[in-house]
Structure 1
Amino acid sequence: MAIQWFPGHMAKARREVSEKLKYVDIVFELVDGRLPISSRNPMLDAILQQKPRLVLINKADLADAQQTKKWESYFKQKGYYVLAINAQDNKGVKNIVPKCKEALKEKIERNRQRGIKPRAIRAMVIGIPNVGKSTLLNRLAGKKMAQTGNKPGVTKGQQWLRYGSDLELLDTPGILWPKFEDQEIGKKLALTGAIKDQLLHLDDIAIYGLDFFARYYPTQLMQRYQLSEEDMELLAPDLLMKITEKQGFRDDYNRGSERIIHDIRQGKLGRYTLDRCEEVGYEDEA
């Protein structure tokens, strides 16, 4: 399954990011807590260079809490400031401004010593589609100002939003890379809904999800679909057939796949994190 998706507006967005970087003090890089690495744009490091960065691990309520702690340590080790948040429920959002001030304390102090009047911190919000940027912007703005939707790529404009007297935010459209060199990253993004379902073979994605849960969260998988220890010995394609049958869909494996993918996305199988720290060679004992 080769996934390639790079709409023209995303290429334009990449140029806009580079052009507008000089207007901001700090960049908020929003990632999905269930896949903190796979939901990052690999071009960002080259684009952002030395600009101060706050990595916001969003949807932390859906992710494996232990894994999130490990990823927080990973990003801190990389030299980034980091916060785990849940923009949907407004959890952790109030800590963003204090964290910004911490990241920019040297610049703020230099300006104070020079007699420069304090102003709001200017930040750019960036992230690939479906990581929750619009939801975060709405929370920070205090009202529904950014268009939101469950489909990736819904946010195509660019606008400034103000958060009290402390923060001015520049929204940017979501940007993705032109080609998924690693097809597993594509499957991870597909499983969480970051890629349009029309571009996928749903049974491939469901099988990937079943294989992952059987390996890392077998109890959650067993409980959701009333599976036996014997069922868990099945290969993922056979497990898909078993679950499809148990759901009453007979041999409609496409429908069975849709149900499994929906359940995973909605957290029906519990909290999970698809990206594992050991995959990037980081072994933290958090």
Structure 2
Amino acid sequence: MPTPPKAQQYTLIVVSDHSQAVRKFRLPRRWLRRGAYAGGGVALVGLLTLGHYFSLLGTGTENRILREENAQLRSQILLVQEKVAHISATLDRVERFDAKLRTAVTQLQDPERGLAIGPVGKSAETPLAGAAPAAHESVAALPGRLASLESEATRQESSLRELQEYFDDQKSLLASTPSLWPARGWVTSDFGVRVDPYTAERMMHRGLDIATATGQPVYSPSDGTVVFAGTEGGYGKVLVIDHGYGVKTRYGHLSEIFAKLGERVKRGARVAAVGNTGRSTGPHLHYEVRVNGIPENPRKFILE
């Protein structure tokens, strides 16, 4: 029966620097192989552990950065929410002010004069939807809230532009309203039914007769344009000024007319002189105000 081969071995010789005996260690090959495997495994585990450690370090750094960014985002979101609340409150105040202005415009109309432009088209609308957002309003609701505020701001801009146009028109109306006395003197015949001095019949007197000396100045009671300057039957020399908005003023029995046809005159401008032309019983100014062709009492318009 053949003898089995001896297992391969390695001999490790240890030589001391001193005079000690040389030592020999016989190591089977399989031990060295197992030791190499074990060392490799330990090295691999060490490398994996080291890699995991550095990975954890990187993750910790990223988490710290993310926490800082989240804190900044929360701060910015709170700031945006505060601004949204401020804008919402401001628009709400503008809404209430708009409603007050429109109410005031409606109450200031003067139907007696027949010159009202308003009321402005829209009355107070529904107040701003939703009160100012709470500080804890969710982030998901912010886009919708901002869109709502943008829409409300656009509507408010349109509403305020309408009010501005109205007040600009009112400013023009006030400048065109015949609010001054056209001449200095005393009223000898008022607006309304009277006894005609020529026929002794009761007739409608369409204006005011202001007695004063011949040549006394006649002033334009408001801004306007001269649309007639000439002679007209019993009125003698007549001047007619168109003030816009359907309002015209007439001046009769004049001695002179200074304003020219088509001329634009300002309130208080000297446009003529008192006279005694036409069918007149003495020097005076016959003054009329007509709105859309209908005679109105001039006293309704005089403010001074």
Q: TM-score range by the shorter chain?
A: under 0.3
Compare CA radii of gyration and give the structure with the larger one: 2
TM-score by length of 2: 0.19
Relative contact order higher in (CA < 8 Å, ≥ 6 apart): 1
Bigger fraction of residues in strand: 2
TM-score by length of 1: 0.20
